[in-house]
Chain A
Amino acid sequence: MTTALAYSTSEIMTIAAARLLKNGAVCFVGIGLPSTAANLARLTHAPDIVLIYESGPIGAKPPVLPLSIGDGNLAETADTVVSTPEIFRYWLQGGRVDVGFLGAAQIDRFANINTTVIGDYKKPHTRLPGAGGAPEIASCAGEVVLVLKQSARAFVKKLDFVTSVGHLDGGDARQRLRLPGKGPVAVVTDLCLMRPDPVTKELTVTQLHPGITRDQVAVATGWNIHFAPQLSETPAPTSTELETLRDLERRSKLAHGNLTGAGAGSA
């Protein structure tokens, strides 16, 4: 019997998200958690993944995690660097992106995203950074994967503002609006993995991270969350996954003077 590796809930979130990215996929990456997970995928099982950042780099292979969406190491390591209009017009709207990989401040049960305001739009309680590229990514990428920490404040019954669309009010809502992409196919949190129900499109927990209970997930969700009948457990991180992630984060911290890009980012 092997001894289980010790890891944090953030680490398993990043690792579980990285595993969802297939080798060779063309991935439009938001800054922060999605960028960490996408680069972990590139450094482990998906060496040929193509990472696109909205500032213009296509095929970026940053040696350390970018702190901002337009860091120089993205341009230096990219297959090509194009203008921002070109990224959105030819590459995203043109249908050349397989996966949009995004973070969010808040989501609802249909994986709609709020990154605009908490409270009233005109007199907000909290003004958030805004849309970034997320509305266009959420509508045009082939599919969308969301990664964010789970809490009742982040997973809310009703969004104050729908910045970027998930499955709207569920069912075939995306097809009715003729949105080009399939929308969110997975939400990865520090507690579990959720997938939209095939028919209703409501987020359903399909996988719990090791040691996490249903109650913990229910308490950290602002609606009555459903669990799949065949609930599985996320495989624990391998030593390669953990070491690669920790090495990447260590090198990134050193390079950025102990700042990390994980806290706040643009989509």
Chain B
Amino acid sequence: MAEITTLREAIAALVRDGDCVAMEGFTHLIPFAAGHEVIRQQRKNLTLVRMTPDVIYDQLIGAGCAKKLIFSWGGNPGVGSLHRLRDAVEHDWPAPLEIQEHGHGDLSNAYVAGASNLPFAVLRAYAGSDLPKHNDKIKFIQCPFTGETLAAVPSVRPDVTIIHAQKADRKGNVLLWGILGVQKEAVLAAKKAIVTVEEIVDDLNAWPNACILPRWTNSAVCCIPGGAAPSYAHGYYERDNRFYLAWDAIAKDRTTFQNWIKAHVLDTADFDEYRRVLQESNSQGVR
């Protein structure tokens, strides 16, 4: 049953060193505030799962929180490379990073299989591709009915899934809309789920077929307005494209990156202070 709590308490109670953690959000509703709190509390040896590891995973990897990454596309959308991810893969900095890579169809199916309590997902893919040669989690099986060859991948079952959504009610029922990505499946596939929201309201006024995560699927709900920035929250704020561009220069250099993480995340108490410091950096043009 969902507890409405602070983000600091939620991460402290629910995310352990060595856990398998999925933070989802397909460009939209990326849980940046929660990712920062994981960095702030200096979790280590995490296996991070995410279809599109973008800037938030670049930050977690560069800050030394991850030992393994399971993903299907790792880039800074609209900008280019993730320099911290590349530095970890190409030069083992700040630590070696094991990678397990898939395609989007594959990984989204793997979440569905996890949510469905199945050991694996089955799909038409990878015939002729080199991905199965470098990822021993991609296998081929024969359909017991038709004899067709199909790809099989293990289901994703995170210890904790973290997402951001638009609204929760006071009992912890969560409503999200717009581009939903794989958030619902990621929550239902996980043992525990943390949801940060833009606001907590008396009544969600949800329409039939709305994407609702009932309170008994969520372990903790935290009210963090702006918690998806610099990504966007449909109906609340736009994507901060300039930050994504600025990140390229911050992340390119190890020292610049470390200074940024220290000033904005490690040395700030919480998301509110992060936003104040970020605003100061912006006004000084240093970000």
User: Using a CB–CB distance below 8 Å, which chain A residues touch chain B?
Assistant: 31, 54-57, 67-72, 74-75, 81-85, 87-89, 92-93, 112, 116, 121, 123-124, 126-127, 129-136, 139-140, 161-165, 168, 173, 177-180, 256-257, 259-261, 263-267
Q: Contact partner of B128 among A124, A129, A133, A177, CB < 8 A?
A: A177
Q: Contact partner of B129 among A93, A123, A164, A257, CB < 8 A?
A: A164
Tell me, in angstroms, the Cα distance from A198 to B26 when the chains sit together: 39
B238 engages A69 (CB within 8 Å): no
Q: How many A-B residue pairs have CB under 8 A?
A: 196
**Looking across the interface, which residue of chain B has its beta carbon closest to that of A164?**
B129
Number of chain B residues close to chain A: CB under 8 A: 58
B78 engages A129 (CB within 8 Å): no
Tell me, in angstroms, the Cα distance from A177 to B128 when the chains sit together: 8
A264 engages B105 (CB within 8 Å): no
Interface centre among A56, A70, A87 (most CB of B within 10 A): A70
A131 engages B131 (CB within 8 Å): yes
Q: Contact partner of B232 among A72, A161, A263, CB < 8 A?
A: A72
| Contact A84 to B182, CB < 8 A, known contacts A55-B26, A127-B89, A130-B73 | yes
A139 engages B124 (CB within 8 Å): yes
B130 engages A259 (CB within 8 Å): no
| Contact A67 to B78, CB < 8 A, known contacts A85-B108, A162-B130 | yes
Q: Contact partner of B127 among A69, A71, A81, A178, CB < 8 A?
A: A178
Q: Restricting to B123-139, which residues have a CB under 8 Å from any CB of A? A: 123-131, 134
The minimal Cβ–Cβ distance linking B202 to chain A, given in whole angstroms, is: 26
B181 engages A124 (CB within 8 Å): no
Question: B214 at interface (Cβ–Cβ under 8 A)?
Answer: no
A81 engages B179 (CB within 8 Å): yes
**Looking across the interface, which residue of chain A has its beta carbon closest to that of B111?**
A85
A266 engages B125 (CB within 8 Å): no
